[in-house]
Amino acid sequence: MTTVRVELDQRAYDIRIGAGLLGRDTFADVAQPKARALIVTNTTVAPLYAQALQQALEPHFAEVLQCVLPDGEQYKDWPTLNRIFDALLERQCDRKTTLFALGGGVIGDMTGFAAACYMRGVPFVQVPTTLLAQVDSSVGGKTAINHPLGKNMIGAFYQPRLVVADVETLRTLPPREVSAGLAEIIKHGAIADAEFFGWLETHMERLRALEHDAVVHAVRRSCEIKAAVVAQDETESGLRAILNFGHTFGHAIEAGMGYGQWLHGEAVGAGMVIAAGVSERLGLLDPASAVRLQELVRRAGLPVEAPALPLQRYLDLMQVDKKNDAGNVRFVLLQGLGGAVLRAAPQDLVTSSLLAHGAIRDASPAMSGPGSPASRTAGSLAA
Ligand SMILES: NC(=O)c1ccc[n+]([C@@H]2O[C@H](COP(=O)([O-])OP(=O)(O)OC[C@H]3O[C@@H](n4cnc5c(N)ncnc54)[C@H](O)[C@@H]3O)[C@@H](O)[C@H]2O)c1
Ligand SMILES: O=C(O)C(=O)C[C@@H](O)[C@H](O)[C@H](O)COP(=O)(O)O
Ligand SMILES: [Zn+2]
């Protein structure tokens, strides 16, 4: 087992990474022998891993309960979140109850948000079982549900007490979900560590085959990068926004297509390519580096083209983004490979990159001429 520490003073916590951690005594230091634990999971993960976690927790808690939710991004919503509160209240769970998020990012984000709200805050532990959740969503305390008009729009910053990433659980993950996790790993290299980006170029096939040493290295390095950013800027007043590279376009794709159609990691993959295109057009990123990023995304099994929505639809969707400032859309752009900046970008460059990567220009003159809806949006996008 290897451990990464998220340094947040009184709320610092460990990320434990290794094989077989669910079957070992990994949870002793979050034990509450007189209190209850509630495992929150979904219909796909429960039959695979809930029993193992139940057994690992039983020696440490008075009672271990389970709440099994429907599976899918489309259930990251109010009614499904309420089912966690129903489970807690039906069993009269008190404020010592610890929630365990067993699953991918959807379960992690919802369980964390439920833990932040229930009785104004109860402890929670992340037990991520997807690659994406192990390298990204289980770390850093962003918790949320989606709104039809925007991704992760209702939520809280609320840190877990512990993260346990058992890489053995990845063996049952469909290849498409492995690729989705690789998107966030590539993101970490692209924004913060050019050497790691180069390592990913060399080891992409080993990662897609889930070779143990390669996976542990990628999970660990991703967690180190994310933990260092979160420790400096927990609530995204500045630096933390770099973790959103690819997400302005990615979230527009997810919401625009309907949650669950494109996986989050797929949307981020295409979103990073489009954001690199904007960076290149602004002269922040050299063309060869933009090609390297696109090629690595493609080799990860991810789309490098956005879905063919009308350009104006993309521009409208991007108006709903937490990074926006007084109506100005702000993008995380690459400043060379391994560096990132948050800034607005001229509309024509954003449009040009979107059109180069799949968005469709509306053929109607009324939609594309001066004074059209597209050109009105231009004003609020300008730097
Ligand atoms: N909080 C954050 O910092 C953060 C970071 C990145 C992403 N996210 C959020 O995370 C979500 C995406 O997470 P995700 O990619 O894990 O998707 P997900 O949670 O939907 O899981 C993907 C699929 O894999 C299944 N699954 C999970 N573990 C499995 C296993 N071991 N074997 C077989 N199947 C398994 C799930 O049931 C689901 O069908 C999005 O909602 C995104 O917004 C949050
Ligand atoms: O932890 C962060 O900060 C991130 O931005 C990580 C992202 O990969 C993740 O998708 C996050 O949920 C996006 O946050 P949001 O605030 O843009 O919803
Ligand atoms: Zn993400």
Q: Which residues are annotated as a binding site for Zn(2+)?
A: 184, 247, 264
Q: Whose CA is nearest to atom 14 of ligand 2?
A: 244
Q: Whose CA is nearest to atom 9 of ligand 1?
A: 105
Residue 253 CB neighbour total at 10 angstroms: 29
For residue 105, give the ligand nearest its CA: 1
Task: Check if the interface score ipTM surpasses 0.90.
Answer: yes
Whether 188 sits among the annotated catalytic residues: the reply is: no
For residue 263, give the ligand nearest its CA: 1
Residue 184 CA: nearest ligand 2 atom is: 8
Residue located via tokens 């580096």:
289
Going from the Cα of 55 to the center of ligand 2, the distance in angstroms, rounded, reads 32
Give the max Cα distance, the chain: 69
Q: Whose CA is nearest to atom 10 of ligand 1?
A: 105
Q: Both tokens of residue 248?
A: 């302005």
322 lines ligand 2 (CB under 6 A): yes
**From 36, 188, 247, 281, the catalytic residue:** 247
Going from the Cα of 264 to the center of ligand 3, the distance in angstroms, rounded, reads 7
Please check whether residue 77 is in contact with residue 145, taking contact to mean a CB–CB distance below 8 angstroms: yes
Going from the Cα of 244 to the center of ligand 3, the distance in angstroms, rounded, reads 7
C-alpha to C-alpha distance for 150 and 238, rounded to whole angstroms:
21
pTM score, whole prediction: 0.95
167 lines ligand 2 (CB under 6 A): no
pLDDT per residue as tens digits for the range 163-199 = 999 999 999 999 999 999 999 999 999 999 999 999 9
| 130 alpha-carbon distance from chain centroid | 11
pLDDT tens for the 383 residues of the chain, in order: 999 999 999 999 999 999 999 988 899 999 999 999 999 999 999 999 999 999 999 999 999 999 999 999 999 999 999 999 999 999 999 999 999 999 999 999 999 999 999 999 999 999 999 999 999 999 999 999 999 888 999 999 999 999 999 999 999 999 999 999 999 999 999 999 999 999 999 999 999 999 999 999 999 999 999 999 999 999 999 999 999 999 999 999 999 999 999 999 999 999 999 999 999 999 999 999 999 999 999 999 999 999 999 999 999 999 999 999 988 999 999 999 999 999 999 999 999 999 999 999 974 444 433 333 333 333 333 32
Domains by residue range for the chain, with CATH: 2-173 (3.40.50.1970), 177-381 (1.20.1090.10)
Going from the Cα of 129 to the center of ligand 1, the distance in angstroms, rounded, reads 8
pLDDT per residue as tens digits for the range 205-245 = 999 999 999 999 999 999 999 999 999 999 999 999 999 99
